[in-house]
Chains A and B, each alone.
Chain A
Amino acid sequence: MDIHGLSMTFLVMGLISAILGAVACYIIMDPPEDIVKHFSTLGKKRAVIPKRDLGPREIIRTGDFWVMWTSFFLVSAAGLMLIGHLMSLTLSRGFNPIEASLAISVFSVTNALGRPPLVGSRISWGGTVGLSQ
């Protein structure tokens, strides 16, 4: 079977993620008590503690939520626009299709590399913002 070609590529990618996802959701589980305890004390030691616990209905009534929403919108708009247009942008600058797809790969790889601040914040969700204060 020829796996080259656009629709075949999507089919193969879809099958791979379906299989991996199905397998992964059987492996995943709640962490054991002692690990949860370990990380929650770790978080309390170094992170700042939020004063309040608001539910989803309460936060949409605060102005801060909408300011945050708008800033998320504005900040991610640039990146999302670039994802959609990187191919035609590079082609319009006179690069060939191989260089264009390489540029997209570079973008995707560094996109993933940029996220590890998340690992710090996983330990305690205040971690990343707290650390940079």
Chain B
Amino acid sequence: MIVFFFIQSFIFIGLALNVFEASALFGAAALAGFFYGSALALYPALTGDFFGLKHLSTNYSLVFTGWGIAGLVSPSLGGYFVDLTGGYELALIIFGVFSLAGSSTCLYLLKRLKLYLE
């Protein structure tokens, strides 16, 4: 569980690296990609633990709409911040904070999860 939280915080750190070390471009791209991928892979498991396995595929498709909306909104939102400030720093920091907020929400979810597991 703690690992779950930290993995997602590392997305934030990966993005922060990107902000300050442009020369570490490849490393930052690798880190961000890795933790984005693993965060995505953890949500089906979380859905299964919360709501049971019987309707997992339908339930996960509902949770997955969150990803869809994010895909719809976040690139244009990012573009808006870039146009606003003329650089990527603010946009990256804002999305890093988004990511950190999501991770903190997970801490709450994990506390709730103990109620539903045997």
A interface residue numbers (CB < 8 A to B): 48-56, 58-60, 64-65, 67-86, 88-90, 92-95, 99, 102-104, 106-118, 121, 125-130, 132-133
Contacts and interface: CB of A to CB of B under 8 A. Distances in A.
Contact of A53 (B15, B36, B54): B54
A72 B42 CA distance: 10
Interface centre among A64, A74, A89, A113 (most CB of B within 10 A): A74
B41 A128 contact: yes
Contacts of B87: 92
Given A48-B49, A72-B63, A78 B95 contact: yes
13 contacts: A50-B53, A55-B58, A56-B62, A68-B50, A69-B62, A72-B63, A78-B11, A85-B78, A90-B25, A114-B35, A117-B42, A132-B3, A132-B4
Chain A interface, DSSP helix/strand/loop, else mixed: helix
A53 to B, nearest CB: 3
Nearest to A90: B25
Nearest to B86: A92
Contacts, number: 256
A130 to B, nearest CB: 7
Chain B interface, DSSP helix/strand/loop, else mixed: helix
B90 interface: no
Contact of A60 (B48, B62, B79, B118): B62
Given A67-B108, A78-B99, A115 B32 contact: no
A50 B116 contact: yes
A116 to B, nearest CB: 7
B interface residue count range (under 10 / 10 to 19 / 20 to 34 / 35 or more)? 35 or more
Interface string B1-34: 1111000100110010010001001100111111
A114 B14 CA distance: 14
Given A75-B102, A76-B39, A84 B75 contact: yes
Contact of B36 (A74, A90, A114): A114
Contact of B79 (A55, A72, A85, A107): A85
Nearest to B102: A74
A92 to B, nearest CB: 7
B10 to A, nearest CB: 10
Given A84-B75, A85-B75, A52 B51 contact: yes
